[in-house]
Structure 1
Amino acid sequence: MFTGLIETIGTVLEYTELDTTSSGGNGVSIVVGDCASILVDVHLGDSISTNGVCLTVTEFDEAKTQFKVGVAPETLRRTNLGDLKKGSKVNLERAVTSDVRLGGHVVQGHVDTIAAITKRVPDGNAITFTFQLRDKENIAYIVEKGFIAIDGTSLTVTAVNYETYEFSIMMISYTQGKVTLPSRELGESVNIEVDLTGKLIEKQIEVNLNGQINNEDSVLHKLIVSLVEKKVKELVK
């Protein structure tokens, strides 16, 4: 689990496509450097959020200034990690420990989809960014003043357009200097993790409704049957 508060910006030192004959898939391995400050208490097998994606550390260099991770094909399909190359900058955050203050919001590091940057408008010393989702169904989980993680950064939604599948956030000047988003161009993609709360509520409602509909003794089932019978009688007349 993560908080969405970026600790440092790392640099991709190596980006290697894995040999499908030896790995059984077409994933990649990535070596990230310029991040010694966050590796002091990180061990092999620990998780580091890299542009919002929870990845497992598989190697360190001898001086522990860089780390290596593997990225599976499914992760490449879901995220923008396939767009990275040597020299790319990435947001980094270690997994939380029990004594960490939750200054952002609960972020799993499980990216739902990507979005393209469609607008960038200065507002005083802040910047308003607008994004359009690739997978449009995720707009249902985005609400004004709700949480969202963009490339792993915990941000507040300031506006939502459900017709164009777009949403906006405002980034203050302090945050601009701590994350990669201000350096991104229009049309570039970012990783999106919607707030888990909305998905949990939707699933609970779905399960509850299905249970009532399939239960002949439930109030909802009886109401539906009554309404159908009433409508049939009206049509027969």
Structure 2
Amino acid sequence: MFTGLIQAMGQVNIGLGGVAIRNPDFLATVGPRQGDSIAVDGVCLTVARLEPWGFQADVSPETMARSTMGHPKAARAMVNLEPALRLQDRLGGHLVSGHVDGLGEITAIERQPRSWNVDIRWQDPVFGKYTVSKGSVAVDGISLTVARCSAGGERFSAAVIPVTWGKTTLQYRQVGDWVNLEADLLAKYSERLLGLEPPQPISHQEQAINKAWLQEQGWS
């Protein structure tokens, strides 16, 4: 589990079945161990091997197909890094699982006096139902607040403050680039629970308790 508050950036090298993340300072600061979870552009990866320059992780075909890691431009790109949330940590962003729902395309980037406005379109519009104004969304692992969205939620805008812009890979993104998107975890669980039939109460026998019933149950 993560918060969407990026702690560092690193360079990714994607090979056959795995990735290598280069950032020795991240290792010194965070001190990950083999088996730890690290969010890489919002994708939860397990540290397979530690190296002096960073770490290596294995990537499944499902992750490659669902995230930007399967895109050619990601081969040597800069990525956002966040270690897993500890129970005693502050939840400054929102609950992020690191399980990417799908891709989004950046359709516009506009510089504002004190922020940047980024417009994004879900590749699969079905996920738009989880996008609501003032709700949360993870973009390449970054916890952002939806400023505006279309009626179906398939298109939305997020305002990015200078601190977030300067400390994440958003500063390198351009119109037409693809990003990893994860919808609000609480929204997905709520949909799942509301879509299920309510639990049925335990049925009670309406048969009257009388002498004949007691004898049938073994009472004399």
1:76 aligns with 2:60: no
Query: Residues 199-229 of structure 1: CA distance to partner in whole angstroms, max 9, x if unpaired?
Result: 11111111036x78xx9x9xxxxxxxxxxxx
1:54 aligns with 2:53: no
Q: Residue in 2 aligned with 1:7? A: 7
User: What is the DSSP-based 3-state SS (H/G/I as helix, E as strand, rest coil) of the residue aligned with 2:167?
Assistant: coil
- CA distance in structure 1 between the partners assigned to 2:41 and 2:92 by the alignment: 18
In 1, are the aligned partners of 2:23 and 2:54 still within 8 Å (CA)?
Answer: yes
User: What is the DSSP-based 3-state SS (H/G/I as helix, E as strand, rest coil) of the residue aligned with 1:143?
Assistant: coil
Gaps of 5+ in 1: 18-27, 218-237
Structure 1 or 2, whichever has the larger Rg, is 2
How far the C-alpha of 1:38 sits from its partner, in A, is: 4.1
Q: Residue in 1 aligned with 2:88? A: 99
Cα RMSD for the two superposed structures: 1.8
Q: Residue in 1 aligned with 2:55? A: 67
Q: Residue in 2 aligned with 1:21? A: none
Q: Residue in 1 aligned with 2:170? A: 181
Percent of aligned positions that are identical: 37
C-alpha change, 1:96 and 1:37, in structure 2 (3 Å) is same
Equivalent residue pairs, number: 199
C-alpha change, 1:164 and 1:100, in structure 2 (3 Å) is closer
Which shifted more, 93-102 or 200-209? 200-209
Query: Residues 66-95 of structure 1: CA distance to partner in whole angstroms, max 9, x if unpaired?
Result: 100111110111111112113x10000000
1:114 aligns with 2:103: yes
Gaps of 5+ in 2: 204-220
In 2, are the aligned partners of 1:136 and 1:165 still within 8 Å (CA)?
Answer: yes
How far the C-alpha of 1:35 sits from its partner, in A, is: 4.1
In 2, are the aligned partners of 1:8 and 1:35 still within 8 Å (CA)?
Answer: no
1:195 aligns with 2:194: no
Query: Residues 141-186 of structure 1: CA distance to partner in whole angstroms, max 9, x if unpaired?
Result: 0100001100000010001113582001000111111100121111
Moved over 2 A (4+): 35-41
